[in-house]
Amino acid sequence: MTVYLLLRKCAPKAIIRPAVRACLVLFLSAGCAVSGPGGLAIDGSDALYPPGTIVRPADCRAIDFDQLIAELSAVSIVYVGERHSRAADHDIQLQIARAMHAESRKLCIGLEMVDHTYQKRLDQWSRGRISESRFPGYIHWYANWKYDFALYREIFRFIRQEKIRLVGLNIPPHIPPKIAVGGIDSLRSAELSHLPDAIDMSNEQHRDYVRKIFQHHKEQRGFDSFSHFYAAQCVWEDTMAEAIVQNRGRCPMLVLAGTGHLRHRYGIPARAYNREPAAYRIVLPLPAGRTVSPEIADYIWVTEPQESRHPPMP
């Protein structure tokens, strides 16, 4: 595996340009070819799967929730995706979290939504030491994440109620946009300290996927270099992969993250596996009205159709 080995050194200060972070977040949105409105289709199969169906794309077989949980309980890491603004996706995440916790009281949950510098406050939340009214402010939710906290409220309540260990996986949110416009070498030494020890830029499928996003947005100010843009995405995902490996221990971990970081495995899952070959599965909530590749995930939970605001992605 070819990796970019990070040398922590002082570097000139980068100037971040407005709108770059917003366009990086766009990468998280799920996108597929449009299919009929009655269900979700899988390449190579004539079946249409209606909303509410859980399907294994590899064999195009619909399974029930109990079978899903039984299969997820056999692995070390479970990734459940989301389109951040979709309440249905968060409801699915909560259902899976409840069931996995019932199977193993040692479950820990890793979150893309919070960066690792807030770990002490996440620990306080899990132990019931921060009130719900103060918690979003304590982790600067709307400064860093911006999506409505109400979409995640029931997940956080469940975590606190059951005293589940919670892990912030992300890198501080100002760093990827700085890399996207100035490259890794533009970061200051304090910013370099947050980067993972190894950054994998060798996956050509992943590179092609990100390039399609870059081509659509490169006319916006700040997108002068695909190599910088791609480095930002890899740093983002390798940081979360490293945090998973460093924090999981021997406990099963449920990871909640944007679908774009999980689809086809080459975002977070493959990077975590390259660090520690622990068995994992990916569950993606995806809306009906799409056609997807059977390699997109281990399981698809079909949700109600939704008009996409973004161009299709592979």
Domains of the chain, by residue range, sit at 3-303
- Highest CATH level, class, for 3-303: alpha beta
Question: How long, in residues, is the chain?
Answer: 314
The answer to whether the CB of 195 falls within 8 A of the CB of 235 is yes
Low-confidence ranges of the chain (pLDDT < 50): 1-23, 25-31, 35, 308-314
Q: Which residue has the tokens 């499928």?
A: 205
What's the confidence (pLDDT) of residue 311? 39
Residue 301 CB-half CA count within 13 A: 22
* Model pLDDT, residue 36: 52
Burial class (CB in 10 A: 0-12, 13-18, 19+), 64: exposed
pLDDT of residue 17: 40
pLDDT value for 271 = 98
Task: Give pLDDT, residue 190.
Answer: 97
Task: Tell the residue number behind the tokens 């416009």, with chain if given.
Answer: 181
The SS3 of residue 224 is coil
Q: How far apart are CA 152 and CA 229, in angstroms?
A: 29
For CA atoms 90, 208, 245, 146, give the dihedral sign: negative
pLDDT reported for residue 235? 98
pTM across the whole model:
0.87
Does residue 159 contact residue 122 with C-beta atoms inside 8 Å? no
281 touches 298 (CB < 8 A): yes
What whole-number distance in Å separates Cα of residue 205 and Cα of residue 230? 12
5 forms beta bridges with 198
Tell me if 71 sits within 8 A of 56, measured CB to CB: no
pLDDT value for 24: 52
pLDDT of residue 22: 47
pLDDT on residue 13: 32
Per-residue pLDDT, 105: 85
Per-residue confidence (pLDDT) for residue 307, from 0 to 100: 55
